[in-house]
Amino acid sequence: MDHKPMRSRADLLSQVRSASDAGALPAERLHATRRRALVTWKATRGRRPARRLVAAFATAALLAAGLLLLPRRPALTYVVGPGAAAGQLGTWIAAEREETPLRFSEGTVVTLASGSRARVTQADAEGASLLLERGAVRARVVHASPSTRWSVHAGPFKVAVVGTEFDLAWDPDRDRLDVALHEGRVVVSGPLLGDGRTLVPGERLHVSISENRSELSRGELVETPPSAAAISPAVTSPAMAGPPPAASEAGPAAAAPQPAPPPAPPAHERQREAMAAPGWRPFVAQGRYREAMAAVEREGFERVLAGASASDLLELADAARHSGEFQRARAALLRARRLGARGRSAFVLGKLAADHLGVPGDAIPWFQTYLDEEPGGGLAEQALGRLIELRQRRGDAAGARAAAALYLQRHPGGAYTSLAQAVAAP
């Protein structure tokens, strides 16, 4: 505290008031401030009529007491779904077949699109933090006070929110983020965004880590709560795509009798057709992954695997993942690593093992390999967070605590902070 001489009673009041402004400080600190203020007053002003000093001190005490008794706003609470079930911090919320709203006590509403999965990781009087694992959300955040502080985390990205309305979609399989701002202001930070990108109403941000590009554009915004594909078709996960319509749903033409298919051509004609058909790479470039995999089948998967370069194999792995062919994606990634691929290939192998192939124990060394190869990479925070989860799930308490401590050191305030703090606590 500043001990410069006080020239008036106002200085004394100001000094005591500043000590109590920080949100109801402990009583002993407030008493100490009072004592120092009184000593300084006596030393600089000499003997003054006692009634003036008593009046000043009494006024300051009353002011401080009033500040200490100011009511504090309670931490936010929330309810989930149409049934308004009480929400619990850290619990995963899956919107399986329909949109699921999260309604917060101060008026904020966050709507999870069908096929999305998220959890509230932190909530206090100023706001809350939401971790979106996959899918899309629409948020209408209430600006309750100047200290309002909300954030949404999606993979390695963070969207810092004041009072605003926006749509956000995250596809972890394709490492793609889309944010569309309706009103207010948000700041998006993460890979490829430098010090962060501020969006104004009407702007839409698209980031693709796998394609190493980010785009800011303007355009018509979604007017209704989104489905998982509402912001951009590019962010729809294959796992969310429905099955093809049954014949009875395809219309009258589909129900009409069809002529028998022609006999299959001889083997040499099929081989000639396969050679004449477009290769699989153009389909990948256009995001037509199922067609890319069909082209790979025509050429022969093992043949493509043996003849492709490391970069082509990484594209093949992406096409296989987005088509739901996870074992083939794994095969392409392993082959790419034998040819020298590093970094992201290890991370994707970890995701495949943990999220699609049912072998989470195999994911741990892959996430660790990614961190060893790219400790400062764009996926490092997510890899370390996944290590905390997986080690804790396998009962490796020491390993989980070590990962949590490292996470808190490298990524304070990140998406997995609440989990890391809970695991690292003695």
Are 231 and 151 part of one and the same domain? Answer: yes
pLDDT grade for 36, boundaries at 50, 70 and 90 = low
The rounded distance, in Å, linking the Cα atoms of 418 and 423 is 9
Average of per-residue pLDDT across 191-219? 85
**CATH, residue 343:** 1.25.40.10
Confidence class for position 27, pLDDT limits 50, 70, 90: very low
Using the structure block, give the residue that is written with the tokens 């401080």: 64
Phi, psi of 266 (to 5 degrees): -60, 160
* Higher-pLDDT residue of 290, 378: 290
**61 or 393: whose pLDDT is higher?**
393
pLDDT at 105 over 50: yes
Cα 425-404-135 angle, rounded to 5 deg: 115
Kindly tell me if the per-residue pLDDT of 246 is higher than 50: no
Judgement on whether residues 283 and 356 belong to the same structural domain of the protein: yes
Name which residue leads in pLDDT, 128 or 236: 128
| Shared-domain flag, residues 184 and 319 | no
What pLDDT does 220 receive?
43
- Rounded-to-integer distance, Cα 240 and Cα 328, Å: 20
Residue 264 lies in a domain: no
Examine the domain organization and report whether 333 and 399 are in the same domain.
yes
Check whether residue 38 and residue 149 sit in a common domain: no
Which helix (H) or strand (E) is 119 found in, with range? strand 116-124
Instruction: Examine the domain organization and report whether 28 and 106 are in the same domain.
Output: no
Residue 241 resides in a domain:
no
- Does the pLDDT at position 424 exceed 60? yes
The CB-side HSE value for 43 (13 A sphere, CA atoms) comes to: 10
Residues 132/118, Cβ–Cβ less than 8 Å: yes
Looking at the fold, whether 135 and 96 belong to one and the same domain comes out as: yes
Residue 228 has pLDDT above 80, yes or no: no
Residue 270 maps to a domain = no
Q: Which of 68, 96, 111 is the endpoint of a domain?
A: 68
Instruction: Tell me the backbone φ, ψ of residue 397, rounded to 5 degrees.
Output: -60, -40
Which tokens hold the place of 22? 């920080």
- Looking at residues 258-266, what average pLDDT do you find? 46
Tell me, yes or no, whether 288 and 390 share the same domain: yes
194-202, long-range: CB < 8 A, 24+ apart:
196/160, 199/166
| Predicted local confidence at residue 12, as pLDDT | 45
CATH number where 217 lies: 2.60.120.1440
Tell me the C-alpha distance between 61 and 58, whole Å: 5
State pTM to two decimals: 0.46
Per-residue model confidence as pLDDT tens digits over 398-407: 999 999 999 9
Look at residues 188, 210, 236 and tell me which one is the last residue of a structural domain. Answer: 236
Q: Give me the phi and psi of 32, to 5 degrees please.
A: -60, -40
Residue 59: give the domain boundaries.
Answer: 9-68
Number of compact structural domains in the chain = 3
Strands 150-154 and 127-141: parallel
- What is the average per-residue pLDDT within 182-210? 86
Chain mean pLDDT for the chain: 75
Last residue of a domain, one of 209, 236, 263: 236
Instruction: Map tokens 């793609």 to a residue.
Output: 176
On whether the CB atoms of residues 37 and 16 are closer than 8 A, the answer is yes
Model pLDDT for residues 123-155, shown as the tens digit of each residue: 998 889 999 988 999 998 887 677 788 999 998
How far apart CA 388 and CA 383 sit, in angstroms, is 9
> Quick one: 107 and 41 in the same domain?
no
**What number is the average pLDDT over the span 93-114?**
89
Q: What is the DSSP letter of 208?
A: E
Do 286 and 355 share a domain, yes or no? yes
CA distance 139 to 102: 9
Residue 49 token pair: 């009529």
The larger pLDDT score, comparing residue 131 to residue 377, is at: 131
In this prediction, residues 370-395 reach a mean pLDDT of 90
- The string of pLDDT tens digits covering residues 38-71 is 555 455 555 555 555 555 555 555 555 444 444 5
